[in-house]
Amino acid sequence: MKTKTNIFLLSALVMVCVAMVSSCRKSATEQVAPIVPEADASQFVSITDVVPDAILEIRYYSTYNFVGTRVDGYEAPKALLTKTAADSLRAVSDELRAQGYCLKIYDSYRPQMAVDHFVRWAADLADTAMKPYFYPNVDKAVLFDEGYIAARSSHTRGSTVDLTLVNMATGREVDMGGVFDWFGPESHPDCGGDPLTGSYRPNDTITAAQFANRMLLRKAMINHGFNPLDVEWWHFTLAGEPFPDTYFSFPVK
């Protein structure tokens, strides 16, 4: 009888231990949830770590942008890109540095929460504080219809960059005949010429020198694997981007 009692107690003790281990494992699983792909920043780098002489002017961290306030998700004036895109941008920088130019970055990776902020701003038709600076000739009500604002952005996939050139001898921005984030046809790469051939067409909007400067940037970006956008001279996305279907959510910090 004593032996049977001991066996029963031992069995009960084993069952209790198994239950405790199972409970601990369940608790650990609940406390350490796996990172969802959209929140995983492990494949991103700071542009200035890869292109040390790049100049940053992160407009959405400041109040000088078409929204007029710091944009959600920009917690630091940093520029992030996927490692693949940053390496390609380094090649662009090397080519242009040999010609006397360095890169100035306005925006790169853009978290989805920032895009959501743009959408909310676009829906508030009464907020036109920055209209004189970025869209004086465009009605805010048509920004969605004309493609200036969208619920999804290639920037959020991590391999798109908005940039311009700086003359290293003078330290001044190269004259592109228009400003970053200007809503209007003046921002189109084909304003004043044919971007496929680089030939200038005399017009009243931009000069031959300004058009040539746009083409200088465009050519270097294309040379190293970036595709241009047909409505913004400053916007380029890496061909074969590593995350073509992922819209990331982690903040810029």
State residue 250's pLDDT score.
97
Res 37: pLDDT: 81
Are residues 16 and 139 located together in one domain of the fold? no
Average confidence score pLDDT of the chain: 89
Do 28 and 49 sit in the same domain of this protein? Answer: no
Is the confidence at residue 241, as pLDDT, over 80? Answer: yes
| pLDDT score at 15 | 46
What CATH number does residue 71 fall under? 3.30.1380.10
Are 26 and 2 in the same domain?
yes
CB-based contacts of 91, cutoff 8 Å, min separation 6: 223, 224
With respect to residue 190, please indicate whether it lies within any of the assigned structural domains: yes
What was the pLDDT predicted at 36? Answer: 78
Quick: pLDDT tens for 79-120.
Answer: 999 999 999 999 999 999 999 999 999 999 999 999 999 999
pLDDT of residue 4: 46
Q: Does residue 91 sit in the same domain as residue 206?
A: yes
Say if residue 198 is in the same domain as residue 168: yes
Tokens of 98: 């040999």
Average pLDDT rounded to a whole number, residues 3-24: 44
Same domain, 1 and 55: no
Residues 92 and 172 in one domain: yes
Residues 74 and 27 in one domain: no
Q: Is residue 250 part of a domain?
A: no
In whole angstroms, how large is the CA radius of gyration of the chain?
A: 26
- Give residue-wise pLDDT tens across range 139-181: 999 998 888 899 999 999 999 999 999 999 999 999 999 999 9
Q: Assign 57 a pLDDT band (cuts: 50, 70, 90).
A: very high
How far lies 145's CA from each of 5, 29, 59, 151, 182, in Å?
A: 80, 46, 24, 12, 16
Compute the average pLDDT of residues 15-27: 42
d(CA 115, CA 37): 18
Angle at the Cα of 219 from the Cα atoms of 213 and 222, rounded to 5 degrees: 140
Distance between CA atoms of residues 223 and 91, nearest Å: 9
pLDDT greater than 80 at residue 212: yes
Determine the pLDDT at residue 7: 42
Q: Could you tell me if 15 and 130 lie in one domain?
A: no
pLDDT on residue 13: 43
The answer as to whether 245 is a domain residue is no
* Length in residues, the chain: 253
The number of domains in the chain is 2
Same structural domain for residues 125 and 18? no
Catalytic annotation, residues: 232
Residue-wise over 204-226: b if at least 16 C-beta within 10 A, else e? eebeeebbebbbbbbebbeebbb
Does residue 210 or residue 23 have the better pLDDT?
Answer: 210
Q: Band of the pLDDT at 35, cuts 50, 70, 90?
A: low
* Domain, as residue range, for 29: 1-33
Model-level pTM?
0.86
Answer yes or no: is 134 within a domain. yes
Whether 194 is in a domain gets the answer yes
**Residue 109 · residue 162 · CB < 8 Å:** no
Task: Specify the higher pLDDT residue, 35 or 232.
Answer: 232
Residue 105 in domain:
yes
- 176 versus 8: the higher-pLDDT residue is 176
Same domain, 223 and 163: yes
Q: Are residues 212 and 98 in the same domain?
A: yes
Tell me: pLDDT of 227 over 60: yes
Strand ranges, E, within the chain: 44-46, 55-56, 80-82, 101-107, 160-167, 172-173, 193-194, 199-200, 226-229, 232-238
Average pLDDT over residues 117-143: 96
Instruction: Give a yes or no: residue 247 inside a domain.
Output: no
Q: Is 158 contained in some domain?
A: yes
Give the model's pLDDT for residue 39: 94
